Amino acid sequence: MCGRFTLRASIEAIAEHLGRVLPLATLPDGTTSDWPMAADSFGPLFAATAQAGPMLAPRYNIAPTQRVLAVRRLAQGRQQPDREQLAEIFFARWGLRPRWASEPLKRNPLINARAETVCEKPAFRGPFRHRRCLIPADGFFEWRRDGRQSLPYFVRRRDDGLFVFAGLWEEDSPPDAPDEPTCTILTTEAPDWMQPLHHRMPVILQPTDYAAWLSPQADPQSLRALLRPIDGGEYEYYRVGLAVNSARHDRPDCITPIEAEQ
């Protein structure tokens, strides 16, 4: 599964990573205390030219129900005539809430969707067909059972670079909930290199698959083929301290190797 992750990269680095394979339109306006920023609003940012933009504050412990940065296909009516299939960066609450749900997001957030059944579950069928998104990250946490306790581990690329989760998003919530999209992260069976930590892991897309995942023309069979476990050759994990257990603790020591603390 995936219950916590990090995004420490600057907005320029995120745009550069995505812009290698996607034409980005604009960054969103506004902010909340869940995602501190250096400025109140963003201006246009085209990844192809890697224009400088405001910096996102590094996040070391992103937790469910908090705001996450995501990328979706720009609505057809907002596409620019001279640049087809633009994508846009937006914010969504982590924990997908179906439009027909009656409970508040914090009571039962759908933070993960199983790749094997995403086409069948009522909460995910619509988003899987029409509202797929990319969720940038540069690490995630997993807890390994050790007797009666669970020990946190940090998983990242060996070069500590960016990668992207396969995500789904839902339209603005019902009238009694915050007026903003919600999202979930897809998971798949963990490959051998992850099995010592957990039997599930988030779906990490290959950069060459970003556009296909967002494509409105993609069929369910081709989309399901993208939801495969990632090879472990470029990834590593190490144990970290218990500070990450608290969702309120969002500091660099969340990813400090436990050996360095002793």
The pLDDT tens digits for 226-258 are: 999 998 889 999 999 999 999 999 999 999 999
The number of beta carbons lying within 10 Å of the beta carbon of residue 104 is 15
Domains (range + CATH), the chain: 4-23+56-255 (3.90.1680.10)
* Residue at token pair 């400090």: 256
Where b means 16+ CB within 10 Å and e means fewer, 135-159 reads bbbbbbbbbeeeeeeebbbbbbeee
Where b means 16+ CB within 10 Å and e means fewer, 178-192 reads eeebbbbbbbbebee
Mark whether 142 is an active-site residue. Answer: yes
- Exactly one of 2, 133, 183, 254 is catalytic; name it: 2
- Exactly one of 12, 16, 119, 142 is catalytic; name it: 142
Asked if the model's pLDDT at residue 222 lies above 70, the reply is yes
The pLDDT tens digits for 33-70 are: 233 333 232 333 322 223 333 447 899 999 999 999 99
Q: Compute the distance between CA of residue 190 and CA of residue 194 in angstroms, rounded to an integer.
A: 6
> Is the pTM of the predicted complex or chain greater than 0.75?
yes
Side by side, the strands of the sheet bearing 149-157 are 59-62, 5-7, 139-146, 149-157, 235-239
Q: Please report, for residues 63, 78, 166, 195, 252, the alpha-carbon distance to residue 257 in angstroms, rounded to integers and kept in the order given.
A: 20, 45, 27, 20, 11
Mark whether 236 is an active-site residue. Answer: no
Mean pLDDT highest for which of 6-20, 25-39, 232-246?
232-246
Mean pLDDT highest for which of 28-37, 174-183, 232-241?
232-241
